[in-house]
Amino acid sequence: MRIAVVGCTGLVGTEMLKVLANSSISIDEIIPIASEKSVGKEISFKGKFYKIVGLATGVEMKPDIALFSAGASVSKEWAPRFAEVGTFVIDNSSAWRMFNDVPLVVPEVNAHTITSANKIIANPNCSTIQLVVAINPLHKKYKIRRLVISTYQSVTGTGVKAVSQMNAERLGQEADMVYPHPIDLNCFPHGGSFLDNGYTTEEQKLIDETRKIIGDNSIMVSPTVVRIPVVGGHSESINIEFENEFELSDVVGLLRNSAGITIQDDPANNIYPTPRFSQGKDDVFVGRIRRDFSQPKSLNFWVVSDNLRKGAATNAVQIAELLVSKRIVG
CATH number for the domain spanning 15: value is 3.40.50.720
Residue 330 within any structural domain of the chain: no
Residue 100 within any structural domain of the chain: yes
Both 171 and 280 in one domain: the answer is yes
- Mean pLDDT for the chain overall: 97
Both 220 and 283 in one domain: the answer is yes
The predicted pLDDT at position 330 comes to 83
The predicted pLDDT at position 207 comes to 98
Residues 6+ apart with CB under 8 A from 141: 244, 246, 250, 254
The Cα 221–Cα 146 span in angstroms is 6
Residue 67 within any structural domain of the chain: yes
Write the pLDDT tens digit of every residue in 71-109.
Answer: 999 999 999 999 999 999 999 999 999 999 999 999 999
Domain range for 66 is: 2-123+312-325
Both 273 and 131 in one domain: the answer is yes
The predicted pLDDT at position 188 comes to 97
Residue 270 within any structural domain of the chain: yes
CATH number for the domain spanning 259: value is 3.30.360.10
Residue 136 within any structural domain of the chain: yes
pLDDT cut 70: percent of the chain above it? 100
Both 90 and 201 in one domain: the answer is no
Both 115 and 168 in one domain: the answer is no
Give 155's Cβ-side CA count (13 Å radius): 24
Domain count, the chain: 2
Q: What value does the CA radius of gyration of the chain take, rounded to a whole number of Å? A: 20
Both 143 and 199 in one domain: the answer is yes
Both 184 and 295 in one domain: the answer is yes
The Cα 194–Cα 91 span in angstroms is 24
Both 176 and 238 in one domain: the answer is yes
β partners of residue 240 = 147, 299
The catalytic site residues sit at 126, 234
Write the pLDDT tens digit of every residue in 256-307.
Answer: 999 999 999 999 999 999 999 999 999 999 999 999 999 999 999 999 999 9
Residue 170 within any structural domain of the chain: yes
The predicted pLDDT at position 119 comes to 97
Residue 220 within any structural domain of the chain: yes
Both 52 and 158 in one domain: the answer is no
In sequence order, what DSSP letters do the residues of 111-139 get, joined into one string? GGG--TT-SEEEPPPHHHHHHHHHHHHHH
Both 119 and 138 in one domain: the answer is no
pLDDT under 70: residue ranges of the chain: none
Residues 6+ apart with CB under 8 A from 160: 10, 11
Both 267 and 206 in one domain: the answer is yes
Residue 245 within any structural domain of the chain: yes
Both 268 and 142 in one domain: the answer is yes
